[in-house]
Structures are given as C-alpha cells and as structure tokens.
Structure 1
Amino acid sequence: MVILIGNQKGGAGKSTLTLLLANYLSQVRRRRITVLDMDYQQSIVTKYEKAKVLENPEPYEVIPCDLKHFPVLLEAIQRKKGELLLIDLPGKMDDDGLIPVFLSADLILCPFNYDEFSVDSTLLFAMVTQRINNHAPLLFVPNRIKTTVRYETRQQVDQVLERFGKLCPGIADRVDFQRLSTNETPAIVLPVVLPLLEHLYEKYIPREGAS
C-alpha cells in the first residue's frame, strides 16, 4: 500500500504527520514500513540519520528520494510483501515527475491549517491530485488547531473541502511535537494524535495479508 502525505504549502505539517503515522504503524501496529522523504528540507532523513548516530534501533527505513528515482524505488519496495510505503511529498505541484507518484497512491493525506493561505493551497492540491488519481481516498487532516482561537470560517472551509474528500480528526497545536523522532512519539502527545491515527488505521489501511 502506498500512502502519500502532501500539501503545496510548506509548514502544513506533512513531515510531522508522516512521522506520527510511521511510528504508530511500526511500533503500535507492528507493520513493516518504508518512508520515502521527497521533501526538499529532508527533515525526516535528518532525524533518521541522527537516530542512527545515537545508535537507536531503527523501527523502519527512511530513504531520501528524487522524483526521477521513484519508479525504481517503488518497484523494489513493492516486492516486499506486506510493506506499507509512506511518502512525504515535496511542497510543489509543478513537476511532471509527480504524476507517477500520485498514480501509485492508494491513500492520500493532506494536512492543512485553518488560515487563508493554507486553505487555498489545500484546495489546489486537492484539485490537482484528483485530476491525476481519482480512485485513492483523499483525506484532509486539520493540523495545529489552537484551542484558544475561534475559527469563524471553519465550518465553511470544511464544507468546501468535503467536495473533494473526507475530513479526519484534527491535531491540536502542541510544542511537544518538536521532540518527535523516527523512533519515538512522545507519550505526552499520544492522547492528541491517537484518535486520528486509529481512525486512519481502522478505516483505510488493510490488515496485513488482506488483498
């Protein structure tokens, strides 16, 4: 299964969501995971290399990936039975090299923030991805929700996004996410993220061995 995590706008939380899902699937659900880091900042690769320097166990492999190398890597990873492939997409939509990536997807996750620029980029991402791949479920993940802020337009935003896909449980804004690594999700953030992660696993990710 191939799961894409993307949004055109930087700072939407792509890499954080990728790490949260990879940690959950590998450590809680004991699934075999590979992560492809296509983001230009390579933040997941950096955390992965830091964990190796500290001689921490590697619950899954993180591979930096250029778009041109994707077809070969995809073929190699899909030979591994039961492997779940998570892809942290680059923050752009203007490269034809992305087309094979989107076509490979079985599930597409789009984290976003409730602000004008994030919502605009989220809508563009949704329109482009659905033109390329209209069979993979597209799920929107509200991110960095501040409990002290009133979101007057939230209902309207949700209604627009639901024309393209489904809304998932959101993630509250927590400074503790800075401690997230490739081998640990801080226990203090688990109550914040488990409703989302369990929702994704129960509804959208086939059990190992399922066709």
Structure 2
Amino acid sequence: MVILIGNQKGGAGKSTLTLLLANYLATVRNRKLTILDMDYQQSIAAKAEKAKILENAPLYEVIPSDLKHFPVLLNVMDQDKNKPELVVIDLPGKMDDDGLIPVFLAGDIILCPFNYDELSVDSTLLFAMVIKKINNRAPLIFIPNRIKNTVKYETREEVDKVLAKFGVVTPGITDRVDFQRVSTLHIPAIVLPSVLPVLDLIYEQYLLREEHQ
C-alpha cells in the first residue's frame, strides 16, 4: 500500500506528519514500512542519516528519491521478497512536474496537512483538484495542522465544508514546539495526546479498510 503525504504549500507540516505517521505505524501498529523522501529539502533523509551516525537501530528504511526514479524504484520494491507492507511518500511541494503523475496514480491513501490561513487553504484546494483529476479512487484526507488554541479561526467551518467536497477533514493537530524534536526514532511523549486521535482514525477507518478491499 502506498500512502502519499502532500500539499504544495510550504510549511504545512508534510515532513513532520510523515515522521509522525511512520513512527506510529512502526511502534504502535508494528507495521513494516519504507519512507520515500521526495521533498526537495529531504529533511527526513537527513534525520535518518543522523540517526545512523548515532548508531541507533532504524525503525524503517528512508530512501531519498527523485520523481523520475519513482516507477523503477516502486517496481524494484514490489519484487523484493522483503518488501515493506507500506510505502509512505513525502511529496515535493510543487505541482508543475509531470513526474508527479505516476506517483499520484500509485497512491492508495492521500493525506494533506494544511493550515487555516488563506494561502494554505488556496494551495490545499488546488492540490485537491489536481490530485482528484488524476487519482479519484484513493481517499483524500485533510488534516488541519499546527492549530493554535489561542486563535479563533473564523473561516474554519466554511473551509471544512469546501474541503469536504473532495475528501474528509479530520480533527486538528495542535501546534507544539515539541514537534521539532520528532525524529526517525521516536515521537516525544508530550505530543502524543495531540496526534494519536488523528493517527488512530487514519489507521483504523482508512488504512485498514483500504487493505481489506
């Protein structure tokens, strides 16, 4: 199964969500997975290399990858007798590369973290429209991210209604400075109450359902 995590707006929290989901799948659900880091910054791959230097046993493999290599890479992984159960892909933050089409088509579940500011919402809607034209079979799950408890989001209800035309909007993830400490090895315990409800929902209501279809 291929899980895509994307939004063309920078700062939406794609890479952090990728790590949160991967660590959750590996430690809470005992699933075998591989991350394909296709983001230009490749921050996840950098964290994985840092963990190797510290001689920590990895929870999963992280492979830095270009879009153009994706079809070959996925084919090789499919033929590997030790292939992972799940492939989690941190997508690049852009929509203007034809190399994205085979990646979008391969997605079985698509996660889209976003913020409630105007630029993020506009980018999220564009992402949703493009990806649904290419891959209409995969459930699209919007995840309100970096929600500040001290801020009143006056347009939140209206935004959720618009996004619901394309997919499902989950409960929000509260903004915490501790998310900066998320690595390829663990999730800080202090952030678990913020993320477990969302990750449980994604796993139980979407990932398991897609696997059983």
Residues 161-180 of structure 1 correspond to what in structure 2 (within 5 A)?
161-180=163-182
Aligned to 2:70: 70
Conservation of the 8 A alpha-carbon contact between 1:77 and 1:83: no
Deviation at 1:34, TM superposition (A): 0.2
**2:8 is paired with a residue of what secondary structure?**
coil
- 1:139-159 deviations in Å (ceiling 9; x for gaps): 000000000000010000001
List gaps (5 residues or longer) in structure 1.
Answer: none
Aligned to 2:191: 189
CA distance in 1, matches of 2:62, 2:35: 5
Aligned to 1:155: 157
Deviation at 1:210, TM superposition (A): 4.7
- 1:51-75 deviations in Å (ceiling 9; x for gaps): 0000111010000000111011111
Deviation at 1:78, TM superposition (A): 2.5
Aligned to 2:141: 139
1:101 and 2:103 are equivalent in the alignment: yes
CA distance in 2, matches of 1:162, 1:210: 24
Aligned to 1:36: 36
1:48 and 2:48 are equivalent in the alignment: yes
Amino acid corresponding to residue 149 of structure 1 in structure 2: V
CA distance in 2, matches of 1:13, 1:76: 29
Deviation at 1:81, TM superposition (A): 5.4
CA distance in 2, matches of 1:204, 1:77: 23
Conservation of the 8 A alpha-carbon contact between 1:103 and 1:133: yes
CA distance in 2, matches of 1:210, 1:203: 11
TM-score under structure 1 normalisation? 0.97
Residues 119-130 of structure 1 correspond to what in structure 2 (within 5 A)?
119-130=121-132
1:110 and 2:109 are equivalent in the alignment: no
TM-score under structure 2 normalisation? 0.96
Aligned to 1:60: 60
Conservation of the 8 A alpha-carbon contact between 2:34 and 2:84: no
- 1:69-105 deviations in Å (ceiling 9; x for gaps): 1011111222345610000000000000000000000
Amino acid corresponding to residue 92 of structure 1 in structure 2: K
Amino acid corresponding to residue 168 of structure 1 in structure 2: T
List gaps (5 residues or longer) in structure 2.
Answer: none
Amino acid corresponding to residue 131 of structure 2 in structure 1: T
1:92 and 2:64 are equivalent in the alignment: no
CA distance in 1, matches of 2:77, 2:160: 35
The structure 1 segments of at least 4 consecutive aligned residues displaced by more than 6 Å after TM superposition are none
Aligned to 1:206: 208
Conservation of the 8 A alpha-carbon contact between 1:142 and 1:171: yes
Identity %, equivalent residues: 72
